[in-house]
Structure 1
Amino acid sequence: MKKISRRSFLAVCGTLAAATALTACGGSSSSTASSAAAGSSEAASVEVQDVALKVWGPQEDQVDSSSWLPTMCEQFNDAHPEWNITFTYEVCPEGDASKNVTQDVSTAADVYMFANDQLGTLVQANAIAQLGGSYLDEVLNDNPDTMIESVTSTDGGVYGVPFTGNTWFMYYDTSVFSEDDVKSLDTMLEKGKVAFPLTDSWYIAAFYYANGCTIFGESGMDADAGFDFGGDKAVAVTKYLVNLYNNANFSVDADGSGLSGLREGTVNAIFSGTWNAEAVKEALGDNFGATQLPTITIDGEAKQMRSFAGSKAIGVNPNCQNMQAAVALAVYLGSAEAQKAHYEMRGIVPTSNALSNDATVSADIVAMAQANTIANTSVLQATLPEMGSYWTPSENMGKAIVSGEVTLDNAAEKTEAYNNALNNASM
């Protein structure tokens, strides 16, 4: 039997979904946003329709009328003479989208920006529309598979339009570490000072993933598989972390201490994301470097650190009154044209396949570090609501290592307690 690729499967699902007619309100989490009725011949004969759209995004994208969000929305309006759109903009950071949208889906934004780790909660709350038809085709064709998977739910449906990746990688001082040095964390610790946010649960998993631990199975979508952070493989990681913390060339990055250390020269490498790029460039000057994650050495073998990766995306409220315009806007805000403008205006690194060979983007060290990390040294962060059980036990484990509560002697016991806490944590 010929194996069907994930992308082909999604395209088939989208085609089938597009056959389902949409109503303007009362949609379910499986409501499909389709462009089937948007043929140009029909549009030409239809009178101009007045449309109102409420759009939510971060403050930085809507400081004034010349900011990215209003600029893109007005360009979209100009490109669609069939609609006379009145936009209402409200501030909602991507990280707060699920909380704010699910408070009252009926009055929430028609189009909003969200961090993809909230997808499971949004789908469960019937607060995000599934894409279908030509809109789905456009999103599938314009984004890497990893970004598509980041907005794909357990039902196989695609529920958002990615516009940037979301992960962390390594910044380093090129006068201290060579390009070969930064391939191995242990080599780096022999040559310079490294800071890492060990007490931050978004980061600590990178070490456990390196040695084969998993969250919700290999796919990251099997809630019944739970958290596999136990056994010998996990104990070996815990012992590595105890030794790492006690290494004289290692320090815990907390409350900005790593960045301060870069400025002062007491730290030569930190782990962070695009949000700190300008500050790190200022601190390192001509010695600025950024790259994907290094390996660590466990039981004499090099094991690849893997950060959580995801995306930031644009979603559509299934209860909006102007579904066709809302979905078309969402797809436009995630298009190559809008992503390029986002990069030029705010430095938001694009995901679009069409921009992968763009001269400016490909020459950007930070953009390439993020892209390479997502492609080579990351694990797609689970979007299931059950992921909520991960954060507190993982933060506590990092703090216990730093406080000295976890030692080489009790590593096995503490690791099993950590694994049990993950699998029994109350959401």
Structure 2
Amino acid sequence: MKTWKKALLSTAILGTAAVALTACGSSKSSDGGSKAKTDGKTVRLYVDTEQKKAYDEIVANFEKENKDVKVEVKANNSGASNAKTDIAKDPAKYGDVFQVPHDQLGDMAEKGYINEIAPKYADASKAENSELAFNAVNYKGKTYALPYEEQSQFIYYDKTKLTADDVKSWDTLTSKGVLGTNFAVPYNVYPIFFSAGTTLYGENGEKLGDMSVDSDKGVNAMKWFAEQKNNKGVMNTDNTLNQLKSGKVSAIIDGPWSSTSVKEVLGDKMAVAPYPTINIGGEEKQMQAFLGIKSIAVNAKAPDQAGAQKLAAYLTSEAAQLVLFKDQGLVPTNTKAQENADVQASDLTKTVITMAQPGYSTLMPKLAQMSIFWDKATPLINGAYTGQIKEADYKAQLGTFAKDINK
């Protein structure tokens, strides 16, 4: 979730034909069939700086198999997390093919910055990637990018202080150890509302006005936040790593982007696990996280639309995802790549794959209103946790919150 935190090589899927698409920003796709050819222009690929070396390798293989497409790999110093902001400055000057977090796709599609993915590539991606990963790159029934990485938080813990069984339940975890998190960061804790049974912008996160947070289920989530204030096994902190290093906490909520830092603190004592179950509203429920999917999109202003589409498909193929896993530790979305022996040998990667399943996580909504959501969710949750919002006011505050984030 490094990407969301900042904001917040099988070729089976490749046909020999390219795709002919309009570049006018109409967000429509067409498959030109076997007669379609790329026009010989260089396709500019924007990738995060630290991943450029891995992409150089992937692109070299792509160019060997696709002599008609020339690719220039460019390090995007601004990062994928700023794709929506950066492309808006001048779409024609931005990358023809670029990385983007899935939650930015809806706004980019609405503004015509990206083209719909050609059906043959979209259909192949649906067949080859996890269910939530493919759902993430769809908006209003159309596919606007191709997935390649799953990002979710999970539990890191000190296995000399807690056992694998201890961390399966929130009650057991926080009675035998101390968990550190930050209740002022809604990315960490808002999904408790999902565990309680509420929705955010509908079942698919795309329908403005469709939510059930201002309900008894939402009140149950607020009560759960309030209960944690007096839970001696929970520490509210803005620096979980320091608390882990000092030994004041034995477990933290974080993601794969922090694995190196946590390993430096715990060494061989480091262990990982999916989120535990929690007791909410008198029932034992699976604690959920937000799921983020990194994807590859095609700029609607790219001169060579066919070449750009072909490249996007290649960059998200099984083998390309395995290169990114081995070089960068990125968790693949491709289901065959997830079964790879090296991937299965990584407890951390397997944990993220588990967390990316329905029931363990909910996709980050793609609506532009999410920028308002983050601002409004922080005082709501923190207010319940600190007691600044009283139980008698929960329903009213939830109603105000729902109204504010639906504008």
TM over 0.5: yes
- Worse overlay, 73-82 or 197-206: 73-82
In structure 2, the partner of 1:28 is 26
RMSD: 2.3
TM-score normalized by the length of structure 2? 0.89
* Amino acid aligned to 2:110: Q
Q: Which residue, 43, 46, 57 being the options, matches 1:53?
A: 43
SS at the partner of 1:215? Answer: coil
* Amino acid aligned to 1:395: T
- Worse overlay, 103-112 or 157-166: 103-112
In structure 1, the partner of 2:3 is none
1:304 equivalent to 2:286? Answer yes
For the structure 1 residues 151 and 84, does the alpha-carbon distance in structure 2 shift closer, same or farther, using more than 3 Å as the test?
closer
For the structure 1 residues 87 and 312, does the alpha-carbon distance in structure 2 shift closer, same or farther, using more than 3 Å as the test?
closer
In structure 2, the partner of 1:340 is 322
* Amino acid aligned to 1:411: E
Structure 1 residues 281-332: Cα deviation after superposition (integer angstroms, max 9, x where no partner): 2222222211211111124321221111120000001221101111111111
| Aligned-partner Cα distance in 2 for 1:147–1:210 | 20
In structure 1, the partner of 2:120 is 134
1:185 equivalent to 2:170? Answer yes
Q: How do residues 17-96 of structure 1 correspond to structure 2 at under 5 angstroms?
A: 22-23=21-22, 25-29=23-27, 31-32=28-29, 34=31, 36-37=33-34, 50-62=40-52, 67-96=53-82
In structure 1, the partner of 2:335 is 353
For the structure 1 residues 86 and 115, does the alpha-carbon distance in structure 2 shift closer, same or farther, using more than 3 Å as the test?
closer
| Aligned-partner Cα distance in 1 for 2:273–2:44 | 38
SS at the partner of 1:223? Answer: coil
1:411 equivalent to 2:394? Answer no
1:250 equivalent to 2:234? Answer yes
Q: CA deviation at 1:49?
A: 5.7
Q: CA deviation at 1:168?
A: 1.0
* Amino acid aligned to 2:21: L
Structure 1 or 2, whichever has the larger Rg, is 1
In structure 1, the partner of 2:10 is none
| Aligned-partner Cα distance in 2 for 1:271–1:381 | 18
In structure 1, the partner of 2:242 is 260
In structure 2, the partner of 1:232 is 216
1:241 equivalent to 2:239? Answer no
For the structure 1 residues 417 and 314, does the alpha-carbon distance in structure 2 shift closer, same or farther, using more than 3 Å as the test?
same
For the structure 1 residues 259 and 248, does the alpha-carbon distance in structure 2 shift closer, same or farther, using more than 3 Å as the test?
same
| Aligned-partner Cα distance in 2 for 1:283–1:213 | 36
In structure 2, the partner of 1:212 is 197
Whether contact under 8 Å (1:394, 1:418) holds in the other structure is: no
1:286 equivalent to 2:283? Answer no
For the structure 1 residues 38 and 179, does the alpha-carbon distance in structure 2 shift closer, same or farther, using more than 3 Å as the test?
farther
1:424 equivalent to 2:404? Answer yes
- Worse overlay, 105-114 or 415-424: 415-424
Q: CA deviation at 1:89?
A: 4.6
Whether contact under 8 Å (2:21, 2:306) holds in the other structure is: no
Structure 1 residues 196-236: Cα deviation after superposition (integer angstroms, max 9, x where no partner): 221101122121111112112233232231x4222322222
Q: Which residue, 353, 367, 386 being the options, matches 2:349?
A: 367
SS at the partner of 2:143? Answer: coil
Identity %: 26
SS at the partner of 1:214? Answer: coil
TM-score normalized by the length of structure 1? 0.85
| Aligned-partner Cα distance in 2 for 1:354–1:187 | 35
- Worse overlay, 234-243 or 144-153: 234-243
For the structure 1 residues 317 and 33, does the alpha-carbon distance in structure 2 shift closer, same or farther, using more than 3 Å as the test?
farther
In structure 2, the partner of 1:102 is 88
For the structure 1 residues 32 and 201, does the alpha-carbon distance in structure 2 shift closer, same or farther, using more than 3 Å as the test?
same
| Aligned-partner Cα distance in 2 for 1:178–1:35 | 56
For the structure 1 residues 173 and 108, does the alpha-carbon distance in structure 2 shift closer, same or farther, using more than 3 Å as the test?
same
| Aligned-partner Cα distance in 1 for 2:311–2:26 | 20
* Amino acid aligned to 2:118: G
| Aligned-partner Cα distance in 1 for 2:30–2:335 | 23
- Worse overlay, 186-195 or 237-246: 237-246
Bigger RCO of structures 1 and 2 (CA < 8 A, at least 6 apart): 2
In structure 1, the partner of 2:373 is 390
In structure 2, the partner of 1:11 is none
| Aligned-partner Cα distance in 2 for 1:85–1:152 | 26
For the structure 1 residues 310 and 88, does the alpha-carbon distance in structure 2 shift closer, same or farther, using more than 3 Å as the test?
closer
| Aligned-partner Cα distance in 2 for 1:288–1:35 | 51
- Worse overlay, 306-315 or 71-80: 71-80
SS at the partner of 1:57? Answer: strand
Whether contact under 8 Å (1:119, 1:383) holds in the other structure is: yes
SS at the partner of 2:292? Answer: strand
In structure 1, the partner of 2:143 is 158
For the structure 1 residues 405 and 32, does the alpha-carbon distance in structure 2 shift closer, same or farther, using more than 3 Å as the test?
same
* Amino acid aligned to 2:230: N
Aligned residues: 390
Whether contact under 8 Å (2:225, 2:385) holds in the other structure is: no
For the structure 1 residues 79 and 89, does the alpha-carbon distance in structure 2 shift closer, same or farther, using more than 3 Å as the test?
farther
* Amino acid aligned to 2:116: Q
Whether contact under 8 Å (1:211, 1:303) holds in the other structure is: yes
